[in-house]
Structure 1
Amino acid sequence: MKSRGKSVFGGWWNLGLPSVFLLCLFFFLLGLFAFALFSQQDVPNVRSRVLESVDLEKYFDALPTGVTGDDSFTSIPFQVLSWFPRALYFPNFASIEQCQSIIKIAKASLEPSSLALRKGETEETTKGIRTSSGTFISASEDKTGILDLIEEKIARATMIPKTHGEVL
């Protein structure tokens, strides 16, 4: 007669699948909460960096620049509204006075928008289709220098040279 000794694990082998699943779930959740609890103690006073004004020259030394570089740090705050399609918001990018000046310059040369005519079409037959108006103004036409400042700021924000941009 063989003796049947008790196994080391006792009745663990007799647990069903639901019991094992519940035990695994319990230990997983216990580990998850313990990790979340202990990891929060390492981060003192987390805060948002939205529009935080910092004097960067306190923390960083400016490097020597090339011919076209800047000798100071520039910070232009922005918010990503959408990645696809890409849309960015630059708060206070231009002042109200700058915007009014650009509107005044643009109104002087505003023209009705034109259409690309297909075969058989004339300007008379397509006259009422387009109701918008537009104009192109370059910084060289602006004697106040405001357009040049705006184009320079656009070049800094996009990191694309001003010469690669289009006229406003």
Structure 2
Amino acid sequence: MKSKSIRGNWSLKTKKFGSIPVIFLCIFFFLSGFFGSSLFSKSQDDRPRSRFLESTNEATQNNLLPAGESGDNSITSIPFQILSWKPRALYFPNFANSEQCESIIEMARGGLEPSILALREGETEEQTKGVRTSSGMFISASEDKTGILYAIEEKISRATRIPRVNGEAFNILRYEVGQRYMSHYDAFNPAEYGPQKSQRIASFLLYLSDVEEGGETMFPFENGLNMDGSYGYEDCIGLKVRPRQGDGLLFYSLLHNGTIDPTSLHGSCPVIKGEKWVATKWIRDQEQDD
């Protein structure tokens, strides 16, 4: 019994000592695999990611299609924000720099005259007095010897995807304290204004100055609001865009079917403090005489 007991104990000890190398081997392979995978992943992370970006850019450049006579051989990126789908209104931050804005103000300052309105059939200036109280002037890019207006015009055509020859001359406007433009449409309804040779598709406003208070561009019918017939075209309500120097605002006056978008009604809120300068570019569906 004793020898059996001793033999049993020896067998147990032998199994214990025999399992130790196995444990060490397991630990060895585990650590080898762990450090090996770490080194591999580190080598993968150490690869210069910029090279992938560079190759992507190179591929993009190499895959550009040959442009037509009026196209571009490069890709243009102009950041924008969608403000609204009804009306289609887009905001372009830092569209122009401060030097460009100040230059446009200076070239217009000496030629400002009271702004006028396109009158409906049977309407008189006396009846529309107070609707638009700003002052302004028209100037085309061909009249600007500095080339600033041409550069802005070219950028607007890329932002709108409409050729620059479809744009009217710039209307440079100044709003002083208390001055405003009551809500209106930029497109001309033939039922009110008579037959039109061409129609305004869109408007691009380039804000040339900051305004301390007031002077927002407003869309009172944004997303179908306030269209129950109670709006009097004077209240500054709805979607409001505060002027900031160098920023641009694009909105479309026509729907895809060519009819006037009723939600494109807009106006300029009264300036409360400061002075508002803006360069307006109306864009039509046909080429315009420069």
Could you state the TM-score of these two structures normalised by the residue count of structure 2?
0.35
The within-5 A match list for 1:1-168 is: 57-60=57-60, 61-115=63-117, 116=119, 129=130, 130-168=132-170
Q: 1:119 to 1:80 in 2, by over 3 A?
A: closer
Looking at structure 1, the residues matched to 141 and 149 of structure 2 have their Cα atoms a distance apart, in angstroms, of 5
SS in 2 for 1:156: helix
Instruction: Give the corresponding residue for 2:47.
Output: none
Task: Give the AA of the match of 1:143.
Answer: K
- 1:110-157 superposed Cα distances (whole Å, 9 cap, x missing partner): 100235498796x7x679635321211110111100000000000011
- 1:73-126 superposed Cα distances (whole Å, 9 cap, x missing partner): 1111111011111211111110000011111112121100235498796x7x67
Could you state the TM-score of these two structures normalised by the residue count of structure 1?
0.58
Looking at structure 2, the residues matched to 71 and 136 of structure 1 have their Cα atoms a distance apart, in angstroms, of 33
Looking at structure 2, the residues matched to 108 and 164 of structure 1 have their Cα atoms a distance apart, in angstroms, of 27
* Structure 1 gap segments, 5+ residues each: 1-53
Task: Give the AA of the match of 1:62.
Answer: L
| 1:58, distance to aligned residue in structure 2 (A) | 2.5
Looking at structure 2, the residues matched to 117 and 80 of structure 1 have their Cα atoms a distance apart, in angstroms, of 32
Q: 1:149 to 1:126 in 2, by over 3 A?
A: same
Task: Give the AA of the match of 1:85.
Answer: P
| 1:57, distance to aligned residue in structure 2 (A) | 3.8
Instruction: Give the corresponding residue for 2:247.
Output: none
Looking at structure 1, the residues matched to 110 and 92 of structure 2 have their Cα atoms a distance apart, in angstroms, of 27
Task: Give the AA of the match of 2:76.
Answer: T
- Does the Cα contact within 8 Å between 1:65 and 1:71 map onto a contact in 2? yes
- Does the Cα contact within 8 Å between 1:138 and 1:147 map onto a contact in 2? yes
Q: 1:145 to 1:84 in 2, by over 3 A?
A: same
| 1:165, distance to aligned residue in structure 2 (A) | 1.1
SS in 1 for 2:58: helix
More strand by share: 2
Aligned residues: 113
- 1:42-76 superposed Cα distances (whole Å, 9 cap, x missing partner): xxxxxxxxxxxx87743412111111111111111
Looking at structure 1, the residues matched to 168 and 123 of structure 2 have their Cα atoms a distance apart, in angstroms, of 32
Looking at structure 2, the residues matched to 150 and 136 of structure 1 have their Cα atoms a distance apart, in angstroms, of 15
Q: Which runs of 4+ in 1 moved over 2 A?
A: 54-59, 114-121, 125-131
Percent identity, aligned pairs only, is 59
Q: 1:70 to 1:97 in 2, by over 3 A?
A: same
Looking at structure 2, the residues matched to 127 and 73 of structure 1 have their Cα atoms a distance apart, in angstroms, of 46
Q: 1:128 to 1:70 in 2, by over 3 A?
A: closer
Looking at structure 2, the residues matched to 157 and 118 of structure 1 have their Cα atoms a distance apart, in angstroms, of 34
SS in 2 for 1:114: coil
- Does the Cα contact within 8 Å between 1:57 and 1:73 map onto a contact in 2? no
